[in-house]
Amino acid sequence: TLSTQTDYRDGEAQTDPYSPEYVVPSGSVPELLTLATLTWGRGLPAGLAEVEMIERAREKRAWEATLPAMDNASQIMKRRKMMNDMERKEWAFREQEIEKLQEVQLEVLKKLLWRREKNQNELDAKRLDDHWQNYQKAKEEKVKKIQHDCALMLRKLIAKRKNVMGKLERRDIIKEYTDFASQTYAPLSRIGYFPDNHSERYVVKNFYLNTFAGLCELEASLPDSVTQVKIKAPKPKYTTTETGFIKRSARLEVDLAQVHQALLEKKNKVKEPKKPLRFLEKVEKPVPRPPTPILEKPSIEEEETELAVIFLQKLLRGRAIQNMMFEGKEKRLELIRELRTTHALQEDGQLLLKAEEEMTLALQQQHDLQMHKLSSVENHLAREEGRVLANIFDFLSKELVRLQEERKIHAFVMLAERQRRMREAEESGRRQVEERRRQEEDEIFKQAGEGDCTIDSYLEDIILSSMENTAEEQAREEIQRMAVEVNDIAYEMESRRTRLQSEEIVAELVYDFLIPEAEKMSIREKVRQSQRKHIYAAHQIIHRGTE
């Protein structure tokens, strides 16, 4: 009834496929054994290239089966012709493979160049962003500093304006103690008061916490239940086995007991009586309002008399207050004149203050206009600087890419020239070897008899194979030596080359390599056709003579 699931899939834990032992019966060569060199990860599972290789191997085996036996001279000639045709096909196939490999290498090189150019562009963009961020931060800091200085100067001007006349004021102790932002509650450190000095006097020092004897005394005063904790192991709810598993019967018993207890509680549940209200309040009735009094409407004559009396009282009172004010003015006439003179002086001072305020506002507006003009000029300068820097960086990056591309083109040209020389050398050597081999074969067939054909062919194969191996080794050594010399010369030329020389080299390569390439190919094809005619005529003459 139980199942498990592993953390790993079968595909993640898969090893190499199993290859069983096999026995090959005598006289049989299974086709499957020709693929013994293919292993898992190196050819298996088979792809398109492996399938093509298998098909070529089958075609070669079928061709080998169709080769005529070397019984007479005609069969030998036919066999030789078939072998030559097969050799040409193999060489053509090898050239196709080399071209495919070169195309793949060129594609990889293009991708690498594109990726490097992309990374370089991203790096340039990141650098420009960093420069822009740095300039922005410097600008913001400068603006903050200017704003801070402006606020500071404004506070100073406001403080000076409060006491324009330069009067000395006495200390108002009551005002300082009522204002919680005054020097009494929050003194400034520039005045000479440092609130952090002597702060250790406020640290709480406890004998029971700072000394060992106090800690021992405090521990002795605590009961044993605090220092010595007793823990009782809980009793298991289920009966378990020695290995720690719960039995199914015990689990069922516990479930049944819980269900039985729930049923008993539901059965014996008694309805609780309704509880009385806890918070009762007595609602008192409001006191009845007294009856609204009713006034009798006076007569018109009485109302007019009352209004006349009230008007007369107002007139008398106003006249009395006017007389009192006139008497007081006459008594304090000198004081009024003095106050009028001081008030005129105060008006002149207020006019001066107002003129100063207007002048200050005008200066501030003029300063704001100048700062705005300066900021706009700085913005334009920064924009022009960024544009010039971007153009310079763009030009430098393009020059760097152009120089790198020139070096790559030069290297490609050197490699192409070296490959062309190598192929020409191989082709000339192969042609000379074929000519020499054909002459030797013709001479051998002219001089040798029928009985010595097998021995001569065997010796001829051995000599040709040894000659081919020796020529191949010598050609490889010569090519490697020439490649080392060409690389040294190329590196030395690149180290000494200037910009003008690089441009001249690129122009010469474009003019001397790309344009004449079509002419060279056509000339080579013509030479190859003419050589084929001569070779074919020589073959016909030789074969006619041997026949």
For residue 77, give every residue at least 6 positions away whose Cβ sits within 8 Å of its Cβ, in sequence order, or none. Answer: 543, 546
For residue 394, give every residue at least 6 positions away whose Cβ sits within 8 Å of its Cβ, in sequence order, or none. Answer: none
| Cα–Cα dist 153/159, whole Å | 10
The whole-angstrom distance between residue 457's C-alpha and the CA centroid of its chain comes to: 70
Same domain assignment for residues 137 and 55: yes
Same domain assignment for residues 66 and 140: yes
Same domain assignment for residues 437 and 514: no
Contact 67, 82 (CB under 8 A): yes
Tell whether 113 is covered by a domain. yes
Same domain assignment for residues 143 and 84: yes
| Cα–Cα dist 113/107, whole Å | 10
Tell whether 523 is covered by a domain. yes
**Alpha-carbon torsion (520, 523, 525, 531), positive or negative:** negative
- Of the three residues 417, 433, 451, the one that is the final residue of a domain is 451
Query: What six digits make up the tokens of 292?
Result: 């609204």
Report CA dihedral (485, 487, 492, 497) to the nearest 10 degrees: 130
* Distances 201 to 205, 206, 238, 267, 307 between C-alpha atoms, Å: 10, 13, 62, 71, 80
Tell whether 331 is covered by a domain. no
| Cα–Cα dist 138/144, whole Å | 10
Same domain assignment for residues 396 and 466: no
| Cα–Cα dist 401/253, whole Å | 85
Residues 70, 72, 73: CA angle, nearest 5 degrees: 100
Contact 467, 475 (CB under 8 A): no
Other CB atoms within a 10 A radius of the CB of residue 34 amount to: 13
| Cα–Cα dist 154/150, whole Å | 6
Stated pTM of the model = 0.27
| Cα–Cα dist 456/70, whole Å | 12
Tell whether 79 is covered by a domain. yes
Same domain assignment for residues 435 and 463: no
List the chain pLDDT tens, one digit each, 547 residues.
566 666 666 665 556 677 778 787 887 777 777 777 777 777 777 778 788 888 888 888 888 888 887 778 888 888 888 888 888 988 998 999 899 999 999 999 999 999 999 999 999 999 999 999 999 999 999 999 999 999 999 988 888 888 777 777 778 888 888 888 888 888 877 777 776 777 777 777 788 888 888 888 888 888 887 777 777 777 666 666 666 667 778 788 888 888 989 888 888 877 767 666 666 667 778 888 888 777 777 788 888 888 899 999 999 999 999 888 888 888 888 888 777 777 666 677 678 878 888 888 889 888 889 888 888 888 888 888 888 888 888 888 888 888 888 888 888 888 888 888 888 888 888 888 888 888 888 777 776 555 455 666 677 778 888 888 888 888 888 888 888 887 787 777 777 777 777 777 766 666 666 666 767 777 888 888 877 777 777 777 777 765 5
* Distances 82 to 49, 60, 87 between C-alpha atoms, Å: 26, 12, 9
Tell whether 528 is covered by a domain. yes
Same domain assignment for residues 443 and 468: no
Bridge partners of 311?
A: none
| Cα–Cα dist 37/57, whole Å | 13
H or E segment at 43? strand 43-44
Same domain assignment for residues 437 and 491: no
Same domain assignment for residues 492 and 395: no
Same domain assignment for residues 484 and 403: no
Residue among 435, 475, 438, 427 at smallest CA distance from 460: 438
Tell whether 326 is covered by a domain. no
- Of the three residues 395, 425, 451, the one that is the final residue of a domain is 451
Residue ranges making up the domain that contains 473: 454-496
Task: Determine the pLDDT at residue 462.
Answer: 81
- Of the three residues 122, 138, 154, the one that is the final residue of a domain is 154
Same domain assignment for residues 409 and 466: no
Tell whether 334 is covered by a domain. no
* Distances 107 to 96, 102, 112 between C-alpha atoms, Å: 17, 9, 9
Q: In the chain, how many domains are there?
A: 4
Annotate 97-128 with DSSP letters as a single string: HHHHHHHHHHHHHHHHHHHHHHHHHHHHHHHH
Same domain assignment for residues 518 and 491: no
The whole-angstrom distance between residue 444's C-alpha and the CA centroid of its chain comes to: 75
Tell whether 420 is covered by a domain. yes
Residues 234, 236, 238: CA angle, nearest 5 degrees: 165
